[in-house]
């Protein structure tokens, strides 16, 4: 996957954390450089329109990954499994669930 994506990737060498709240007193902006921890880069930035098709292709080729084209309506955890009720009325359970639907994800 990485070999296919690398030509479109940009090295993440600097990470800036900005307090974008509208509070009266805000935290100062902080800049981190990968070189400060002895690394060339923190990782890679990729355009979503390049990343999604490559990951979808890789996932569809893997027998252990089941791509469900429905959204999660609700979820719960027990001692062994994560359970999701889907918008299409079905449900799934797994020992591993990934909440990769953004920073406002209710599952994060």
pLDDT at 27: 95
Structure tokens at 84: 């999701």
Collapsing DSSP to helix, strand or coil, 45 comes out as strand
Say how many C-beta atoms besides its own lie within 10 A of residue 64's C-beta: 5
What distance in Å separates the CA atoms of residue 36 and residue 102, rounded to the nearest whole number?
28
pLDDT digits (tens, 9 = 90+) for 4-26: 999 999 999 999 999 999 899 99
pLDDT confidence bin for 107, thresholds 50/70/90: confident
Structure tokens at 49: 């329109």
Whole-model pTM above 0.85?
Answer: no
- Report residue 11 CA to chain centroid gap: 17
Domain ranges of the chain: 2-63, 68-100
pLDDT digits (tens, 9 = 90+) for 25-73: 999 999 999 999 999 999 999 999 999 999 999 999 999 888 888 888 8
The yes-or-no verdict on residue 100 having pLDDT over 80 is no
pLDDT at 51: 95
pLDDT digits (tens, 9 = 90+) for 80-90: 999 999 999 99
Q: DSSP secondary-structure letter at 51?
A: H
pLDDT at 83: 95
Rg (Cα) of the chain, in Å, rounded? 19
pLDDT at 31: 98
Give the CA count within 13 Å in the CB-facing half-sphere of 98: 5
């Amino acid at each position: 996957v990485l070999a296919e994506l690398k030509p479109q990737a940009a090295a993440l060498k600097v990470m800036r954390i900005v307090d974008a709240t509208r509070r009266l007193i805000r935290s100062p902006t902080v800049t981190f450089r990968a070189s400060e921890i002895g690394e060339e880069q923190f990782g890679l930035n990729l355009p979503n329109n390049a990343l999604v098709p490559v990951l979808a292709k890789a996932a569809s080729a893997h027998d252990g990954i089941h791509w469900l084209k429905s959204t999660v309506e609700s979820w719960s955890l027990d001692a062994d499994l994560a359970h999701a009720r889907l918008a299409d009325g079905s449900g799934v359970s797994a020992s591993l669930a990934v909440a990769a639907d953004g920073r406002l994800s209710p599952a994060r």
